Structure 1
Amino acid sequence: MNTRRRFPKCRLPLPLTLLAAVLLAGCITLLALWCQPNALRVVLTHFKAQPLLIVLNALPIGLLLLMFTCLFRNVFFGAALVNFSVCALSIANRIKIEVRDEPVFPRDLGLLKEVGSAMTTYDIHFPWAAIAVVIVTTLLLVILGVFIGCKPFPIARLRGWLGSLLGAAASLAVLTGLIFTVYASNALYNSFRVSNAYYVPAVFNELGFPYCFTHHFTTYPVDKPHGFSKAQAEVWEKGSLAENQGKAVNVVMVMNEAFSDISDHAAFDYGQADDPLPNLHALQTDPHALTGHVVVPGFAGGTANTEFDVLTGIQTNALSATTTSALRVVNRDLDSLFRVYGADGYRTSFFHPGDDWFYNRENVYRWLGAEETVFADQMTDLEYKGRWVTDDYMADLVEQEFEETVAAGKKLFHYTTTIQNHMSYTADKYGEGYHYPAVPLKVSVSDQVRTMLEVYMEGARDADAMLGRLRDYFAGRSEPVVLVFFGDHLPYLGDNQLGYRELGFTEEPNWSELTSYETPYVIWANDAAAEALDWKNAVNDLDLQETVSASFLGAAVVELTGRETAWSAFLNSLRREAPVVQKEAYLLADGTITGAPEQALTDNILQWRQWSYYKLKYQEFEE
């Protein structure tokens, strides 16, 4: 049977084909936007105020449509495939936001196994009306393709498969180029007005799924290390594990927002009477305490990156040659301290008095293995000091968590990230008319810097008070407890390190390499824990240096409490060789700083990177 006679075909000339492609791309874009969680009229309102968003959303769809039009030699067949693919992603984005409060990213395309698991884990309400509309429009486009084709290309040499492949390749090349230039631009992405730039699902809803999805092809990268071998990493992971060595002590870790000891610097003139950090200083001479500094991933910011480094032993700064957000690269189960202690039957929990969607913590901590997560919306009777929940309130929650765990007959591994001393340090932070004690200085600073210091030190005093409160509370308990208290990063004191320059910090050796990333740490054991751990001998064996990378801190706590995994043993061995690895600066065990380590250390650091990549991408855990 001659199908051409049965289905007479209208053929569009090239100009009409291109016009049809433009119109179809626009329609597919609108349908994809309609499939988003929020109303289409809301999206179009944002687009009306920022017209460039129309182009940025439609352009990748149009280029994909051209590519498949060239391959199929039919604009409607190409539109059918693009319509189905783009709208299916948009619907998946809607479902993922509704179920996990997180949009679909390009990296999710490689997680089909995890998607299949999620389908059975969550109570998913499928938007059947949107699915039906997408299927019907796709079928209509296929039917149109049956009856309407395209006339041969005007240039005879390009009418065959060579022309089709060249046209498709050209369209793909243009799209790829745009992804790595225009769509990769953070400056452009951040220039658009949104209701909450830190709430990623809202950004997707307001800027349009096609644009945001395309932008995130180049965000949160994880580079594959040179020479990576999955098989070799599996051998490392299956290395000998010490069993049943863990001491039955509770572990409470508190990462305090912007906690630092900058007030110990020579530029300040504090005395014993007005010391803002009396509890930290007291613990520095406590026989049951280890104190020093951790070198964190970022300067004056990057709280979540420090969480990641401490909990996983993986370094944020080594994930990619470009800047990335560590918690944003996590999209599957990952090894962490929660899993180490959870495997010993501990109750594991994470508290943070912020929004659960910020840095995607709600999902990430589940992937890290935390048994319980509690965020601001789950906390009752929140106590604020100015804009943020107080450290004292969080200390109360930590104590409650400990008492509930003890009452349940279990041991506790707990991690809290506080928020009170978060920037900005402006005079109105704690409310109009709040009186800040003067900061005694030996140097002259601008009024702007003086205000920031006064506001910041008020928060530092409260942080130190939290440290003292927890120490006193656990000192009075008969249950063994190890308390780990440290800062996530130095405070932000103005653009271009303004406050640090005026105080004289930036003139000191190694400021940019190491000291600009240092915050204090305290590891303290109450009497019961000191006895259980044989504190003096345990500390001697631990050989914990005064200054260590944040990625080594968690492994050091694992060793201190009598535990060992192949990963923690490797990290502790590397720490003893090079206590600090910070980008291209290495602090060696003998105290020297180098940018060119010997080959043996270079090889060990490369193994660290390769093993980290395996954990992020391939390591599996039993349910």
Structure 2
Amino acid sequence: MLKIKHKEPIFALIMTGIQSFITIFLTEVLYRGGFSPALEWTKDYTRPFTYNFLLLFLLLASLHMFKRKLYIILSYLITIPLLFLGLASNVKQGIRGVPVLPTDLSLAAEARSMAEFFSGTLHFWTIVFLVVLSLLGIFLVYKIPNQQGSNLIRFLTSVVLLTAFIVIFRIESSNDSTFLKRKLMIIYQMTDQRTTYEIDGLMAGFIQNLKWLKQEIPIGYSQSAINTIISKSDVPEYPNDNDKPNIIMIMNEAFWDPTKMESVVFNQDPLPYFHQLQQEASSGSLNVTVFGGSTVNTEFEALTGLSTHFLPSGSIAYLNYVKKPLPSLPTILRKQGYDTTAIHSWHHWFYDRSGVYRDLGFNRFISMEFMGNPIAHGPFFRDKSVTDEILKKLKQENSGKPNFIFAVTTQNHGPYSTDKKEAFSTIETHLKGDASFSDEAESMLEVYSDNLLDIDQDLERLINELNTMDKKTILIFFGDHLPLLGNEYMVYEEANFYQGTDSYEEYLNMYSTPLLIWDNYSNKKESINIGSSMLTPIILNRAGLTGNPFTNYLLSKYLNDGLSKIPREDFYAVEQMDNETLTELKMLQYDILFGKMYFNDNKKIEVSKNYRLGYKDPKITSISIRKGKDKIVVKGQNFTHNSYVFIDGTAADKISGNTTNITIPFTELKKGTEIMVKVIDQNEKILSSSNKYIYE
């Protein structure tokens, strides 16, 4: 029977208040990187602190409807994730310049696999912290006794507090301006999440971004509205040309021109061939939506024409929104007879590319696991490996089909060493006048620039090869984002390239990468300064190919109305983005990603029925045993970097291998032994298997 006790609920609420205060403060200590900045925020921003405290207190206090031991367990399940959210935001903000957002939670699998690139010390202390907290929780559950009987006041109070929390949370997470936000001075800057979090506090900043996880239906969205929009397209008519050009699109990791920093002196040009091409071919800049990372958002825009500026802040398009076949450049080209190939010198599963590329219309995906012998460059691979794969595909028999190849490189991926250079390093830098770089900044810039020099030489090799081929070819070469040259924009600030002014000029500096469009048949030369979401219609126009209704709309806007880019929202006015065009773009994008595909007459986008990873499955043709019986050589075709020999189902150690031979240690083979070659990924998943070879 419920007993009425007055003192126990009051004491429990006091203890919950203390727990909430400590949790919020410790979370800010982890996020801000120290006790002093957290204390300073608590004193200077007392009202935002109160806002965070109130939300957490209501949630934790409502848990007192349960017995004491269960309360401890449930409160731990809330408190520990908050503390780790603070730690993760500190790490991410140091690397990317922004804290953790709700949409980052879908990156958990990738974060685990990238952990090896973060500080080993941080990783160690994170584990220690987790173990200590877990042991403390176990101790408390074991030592603290449960209440005897039940308490009516405690139960009813908890129900009221839980109801209050649910109501307040729903209001606060879905509205920018509420009574509490106004009274407790909570601000929201979508384009500057760092400021939002630093003023409002970690929990409040995170909650304010939850609203971006859902997409609202645009006002007036209908079949007739979409038909009206696409009917405005005025697209050029192209002559029928059976000799369709090969189209090669290379998104080069962190590719940028550091000579744009006018205060920096280089002992040699880090991009001599690229600078030559800029004078000979079409070139300009590509306005992208990301800085220092989130490569796939630029990739998504470049292949679809859709804008991530219209998606929730901080979201990853490939992971959050490519959930079905989408209209895209490879889809358009495949329908016009192209063989479509994606190449990337990294794991097939990263950012779910193996699934996304299928939905974007590629016929195949050549990931790192399916490359013959990619050349390592730190944890990544040199651009030469990607160039080799491009040339390999172009030289294959292809039944006369033109090729569309989209390639993503990794050689220039950060972080860039602050104390060690490569053997091929030749570039040295310094600042003009009396100013000087810090040792760390100077080293990073020189390592990055030496990479560029190597990449530049490989670009020259590719174009020289393309010039020898008797096939019209267009090459599009661009960067996905600026390189992350140190935390807090270190190199850019020391070179006075970034000054934190938030001006439009500085925005373009920090969010624009070089763009080159070259071909071997037209001698066309023009200045092209566009956003990455405009690449697809521009490429189709350059190749003389008609797109789909959406890309036709974009091209018409580009040619007739001067729409060249979709900038960040706070720069719409500078780019003279009119409300009508913005409304139309957002409605078309909603129709494609979340709606009923009215633009395509309600028809689903068809994917390639023959989509696969790699070109072909490996094939074993023979087995040979070396003299002295110390090694076995498995011979065949289509062996790759991640191909391994299996003997009666058990993987054998690999001594060496190439595309036609894999050498393993000697083992006794009995008649009837089954031998196979399998392509295995980092997670030990079998991606491809050979024929079964029976040893005779």
Query: TM-score higher than 0.5 here?
Result: yes
Correspondent of 2:305 among 309, 313, 317: 313
CA RMSD of aligned residues (A): 4.7
SS in 2 for 1:604: helix
C-alpha distance in 2, partners of 1:234/1:226? 11
In the superposition, the TM-score normalised over structure 2's length comes to 0.54
**Separation in 1 of the partners of 2:287 and 2:486?**
21
- 2:576 counterpart of 1:597: yes
Cα distance between partner residues in 2 of 1:225 and 1:494 = 40
Q: Provide the TM-score with structure 1 as the length reference.
A: 0.60
**What is the SS of the residue equivalent to 1:396?**
helix
Q: Which residue of 2 aligns with 1:269?
A: 265
**Contact 1:386–1:429 under 8 Å retained in 2:** no
| Alignment-derived partner of residue 591 in structure 2 | 614
Are the aligned partners of 1:549 and 1:579 in contact in 2 as well (CA < 8 Å)?
yes
Q: CA–CA distance in 1 between the matches of 2:419 and 2:247?
A: 37
1:174, distance to aligned residue in structure 2 (A): 7.4
With over 3 angstroms needed to count, the CA separation of the structure-2 counterparts of 1:228 and 1:503, relative to structure 1, is farther
- Counterpart residue identity of residue 490, structure 2: L
2:541 corresponds, among 556, 559, 564, to 559
Q: Which residue of 2 aligns with 1:578?
A: 563
Q: Which has the higher helix share?
A: 1
1:426 Cα deviation from its structure 2 partner: 1.2
Cα distance change on mapping 1:440 and 1:217 into 2, 3 Å: closer
Task: Give me the whole-angstrom Cα distance separating, in 2, the residues matched to 1:596 and 1:278.
Answer: 32
Q: How does 1:409-448 map to 2 (within 5 A)?
A: 409-427=400-418, 435-439=425-429, 441-443=431-433, 444-446=435-437, 447-448=439-440
Q: CA deviation at 1:500?
A: 1.1
Alignment of 1:446-595 (within 5 A): 446=437, 447-506=439-498, 510-527=504-521, 530=522, 536=524, 545-561=527-543, 562-576=545-559, 577-584=562-569, 594-595=573-574
What is the CA-CA distance between 1:429 and the residue it aligns to?
Answer: 6.6
Runs of 5+ unmatched residues, structure 1? 1-10, 16-58, 67-104, 109-150, 160-164, 188-213, 588-593
Residue 297 (structure 1) aligned to one of 272, 289, 293:
289
Contact 2:287 2:532 in 1 (8 A): yes
The alignment-based identity, stated in percent, is 26
Provide the rounded CA distance (Å) in 1 between the counterparts of 2:338 and 2:167. 53
Task: List gaps (5 residues or longer) in structure 2.
Answer: 6-57, 66-102, 107-149, 175-180, 182-192, 195-205, 598-602, 607-696
| Structure 1 residue 499, shift from structure 2 partner | 1.0
Seen in structure 2, the aligned counterparts of structure 1 residues 558 and 229 have a Cα distance that, compared at 3 Å, is same
1:357-396 matches, within 5 Å, as 357-396=349-388
Count of matched residue positions in the alignment of Structure 1 and Structure 2: 441
Separation in structure 2 between the aligned mates of residue 458 and residue 579 of structure 1, nearest angstrom: 33
1:316 CA displacement: 1.1
Q: 1:428 to 1:216 in 2, by over 3 A?
A: farther
Specify the code of the residue in structure 2 equivalent to 1:556.
I
Distance 1:217 1:323, change over 3 A: closer
**1:327 counterpart = 2:339:** no
Rounded to whole Å, the distance in 2 between the matches of 1:217 and 1:13 is: 43
Q: Distance in 2 between matches of 1:580 and 1:106?
A: 26
Q: Deviations over 1:466-485 (max 9, x none)?
A: 22122111111001110000
Give me the whole-angstrom Cα distance separating, in 2, the residues matched to 1:614 and 1:233: 11
Counterpart AA for 1:579: S
Which amino acid in the other structure matches residue 581 of structure 1? Answer: I
The one-letter amino acid paired with 2:392 is: Q
Deviations 1:416-454, CA, capped at 9 Å, x for gaps: 1111101111146766x7755322542533211110111
Q: What amino acid sits opposite 1:367 in the alignment?
A: D
> Is residue 230–residue 550 contact of structure 2 (8 Å, CA) maintained in 1?
no
The answer to whether the 8 Å contact 2:62/2:161 transfers is: no
1:250 is aligned to 2:246? yes
How far apart, CA to CA, are the structure 2 residues paired with 1:215 and 1:584? 21
Report the 3-state secondary structure (helix = DSSP H, G, I; strand = E; otherwise coil) of the residue aligned with 2:389: helix
In 1, Cα distance between the equivalents of 2:575 and 2:285? 23
CA distance in 1, matches of 2:419, 2:208: 36
1:71-111 deviations in whole A, cap 9, x for unaligned? xxxxxxxxxxxxxxxxxxxxxxxxxxxxxxxxxx9999xxx
| Structure 2 letter corresponding to 1:254 | I
Residues of 2 paired with 1:585 and 1:570: CA distance? 24
